[in-house]
Structure 1
Amino acid sequence: MSVLAPYKMPQSVLVVIHTPALDVLLLERADAPGFWQSVTGAKQTPDESWEHTAVREVAEETGIDARAGGCVLSDWGLENVYEIYPRWRHRYAPGVTHNTEHVFGLCVPAGTPVRLAPREHIAYQWLPWREAVQRCFSPSNAEAIAWLPRLGCDGGTG
């Protein structure tokens, strides 16, 4: 059994949840009202796979089972390295200033119910992808959503 580290790992996933019509699910952060984003979350252990992290974080933050029928989880093969916002650096080990983020898309059927984790998010909305790009506070999140029309529900593999 793995023991969770006292600090967050600077390795995380970004999961752009969307419908076949390219409506994107955005979540409003509980610790930063007005900050809208896709699902994000850090690996719990160094050996946790990116895919497992994505599936776990989606379930924790939205109640959506990424492996359910009708859902397609795609590894977009994109990674972002960015500076961690100073307001959140206390969650990481001393001296850690950057995070590596691995990007996934999750295509879900229109009308998929969302159940928020109230400690993490206070609201959600489905927006057309162009509006979602504009609403995101994170540049890397906005950029990932901008890739959506090229990648769609098959992650660009079909």
Structure 2
Amino acid sequence: MTTTAVVAVPVWEASIVLGADQVLTENDHKHWRYRHPRAKSVRSVSEQTARFTRAPRLERARIVIEILFPDRRRRDTHNLMATAKPIVDGLVDAGLLPDDDARHLAGPHLEASTELSPKRWGQRTFTFNIAVFDLGEEPTP
């Protein structure tokens, strides 16, 4: 018996490059007044990216975010969920999904890349490669 693997193709892809000082992590224990402007900025960049690249409007989707780090140090990828959340919120603001609740969104799933994020103007960066997979309409019970 042979099985054929089905490879899903993303319906939309984009990359967001952030300076190391713009990235939020779960280990940041700073005051909300410090974190909020950075989260708002990431959300805005994500929304503008989706609008500029004409992201589709979907009912349900799976989002995978591949992260390129600035160096090869050992990392806990899920610490960057604090950055992934504003990215997803920006996609919702742009109309890619009606909401980011469990009915409309599977993920975001974070994966570490083996590639390094390029330096920009001599500064370290993190690159977030976003892939969106259409899950179709919600099945009716």
Question: Normalising to structure 2: TM-score of the pair?
Answer: 0.31
Higher RCO structure, 1 or 2 (CA under 8 Å, sep 6+): 2
Question: Normalising to structure 1: TM-score of the pair?
Answer: 0.28
Please state which structure has a larger fraction of its residues in strand. 1
